[in-house]
């Protein structure tokens, strides 16, 4: 190995280390809670010295907040996959539903960590404002439906809980009590949750 290759490899390892730390920390936080997980536990799980951990994340709160923001960003990236705002409203909604079910079903830890953080004392006004900005493309979808008279006249976040929120519950239920999600059943669920938010 020449000197150039050595330094390129070392640089890659430095870039990968925060990802390794966050991946291990996320699982520990979900399993033991924020207060039940120490930085020493995280360092051990990541296979690094505690001092190295603090070089990347000077404190546990910073690490927790970084994981939260990454989790929410990844969740929304999944929801927006192949989304086309030019499609009719039902086509847009169907894409959101399918993404929420198929993409997030395999990434339940993102949803768990998001919920864990947002119920914790760490969640503050700055986080809420940041999260609101991230959710804006989906919120705008519901607001357009309300303004046009297509959707029920209620806060957009409640329309989201009635529709896409139910998808997350379904995928979580399927992990605990497995059932056969056929294409026909999937379509029934999409139609039922769509009707739940339509104006009467």
Mean local confidence (pLDDT), 49-69: 95
Domain of 47? 1-58
Task: Return d(Cα 164, Cα 132) in angstroms, integer.
Answer: 16
Q: What residues contact residue 136 under an 8 Å CB cut-off, 6+ apart?
A: none
70-120 residue pLDDT tens: 999 999 999 999 999 999 999 999 999 999 998 887 788 888 899 999 999
Per-residue pLDDT at 12: 42
pLDDT confidence tier of residue 16, bands split at 50, 70 and 90: low
Per-residue pLDDT at 166: 87
| % of the chain beyond a pLDDT of 70 | 92
Q: In this structure, what CATH number is given to the domain that contains residue 189?
A: 1.10.357.10
45 pLDDT above the threshold of 90: yes
Are 146 and 162 within one domain?
yes
Q: Tell how far CA 96 is from the center of its chain.
A: 14
Instruction: Please state, as a whole number, how many other Cβ atoms lie within 10 Å of the Cβ of residue 79.
Output: 21
Are 154 and 129 within one domain?
yes
Are 111 and 18 within one domain?
no
Are 109 and 193 within one domain?
yes
Are 182 and 153 within one domain?
yes
Q: What residues contact residue 161 under an 8 Å CB cut-off, 6+ apart?
A: none
Are 101 and 137 within one domain?
yes
Per-residue pLDDT at 3: 47
Q: pTM, whole model, 2 decimals?
A: 0.83
CA-closest candidate to residue 98, choices 149, 29, 170, 158: 170
Domain boundary among 20, 42, 58: 58
Q: At what angle do helices 60-79 and 39-46 cross, to 10 degrees?
A: 60
Q: Which long-range contacts (CB under 8 A, 24 or more apart) does 183-190 make?
A: 186/98, 186/101, 189/97, 190/93, 190/94, 190/97, 190/98
pLDDT confidence tier of residue 48, bands split at 50, 70 and 90: very high
151 phi and psi, to 5 degrees? -105, 160
Are 80 and 155 within one domain?
yes
Q: In this structure, what CATH number is given to the domain that contains residue 16?
A: 1.10.10.60
How many domains does the structure of the chain reveal? Answer: 2
Q: What residues contact residue 162 under an 8 Å CB cut-off, 6+ apart?
A: 193, 196, 197
Task: Return d(Cα 7, Cα 12) in angstroms, integer.
Answer: 9
How far is residue 140 from each of residues 72, 89, 135, measured CA to CA in Å?
A: 18, 12, 9
123-165 residue pLDDT tens: 999 999 999 999 999 999 999 999 999 999 999 999 999 999 8
């Amino acid at each position: 190995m020449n000197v150039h290759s050595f330094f390129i490899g070392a640089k890659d390892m430095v870039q990968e280390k925060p990802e390794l730390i966050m991946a291990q920390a996320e699982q520990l936080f979900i399993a033991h809670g924020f207060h039940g997980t120490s930085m020493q536990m995280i360092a051990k799980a990541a296979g690094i010295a505690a001092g190295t951990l603090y070089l990347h994340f000077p404190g546990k709160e910073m690490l927790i907040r970084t994981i939260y923001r990454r989790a929410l960003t990844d969740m929304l990236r999944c929801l927006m996959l192949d989304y086309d705002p030019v499609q009719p409203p039902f086509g847009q909604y169907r894409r959101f539903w399918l993404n929420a079910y198929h993409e997030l079903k395999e990434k339940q830890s993102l949803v768990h960590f998001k919920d864990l953080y947002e119920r914790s004392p760490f969640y503050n006004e700055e986080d809420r404002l940041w999260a609101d900005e991230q959710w804006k493309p989906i919120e705008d979808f519901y607001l357009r439906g309300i303004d046009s008279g297509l959707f029920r006249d209620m806060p957009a976040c409640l329309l989201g809980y009635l529709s896409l929120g139910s998808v997350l519950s379904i995928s979580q239920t399927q992990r605990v009590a497995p059932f056969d999600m056929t294409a026909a059943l999937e379509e029934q669920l999409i139609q039922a949750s769509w009707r739940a938010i339509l104006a009467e």
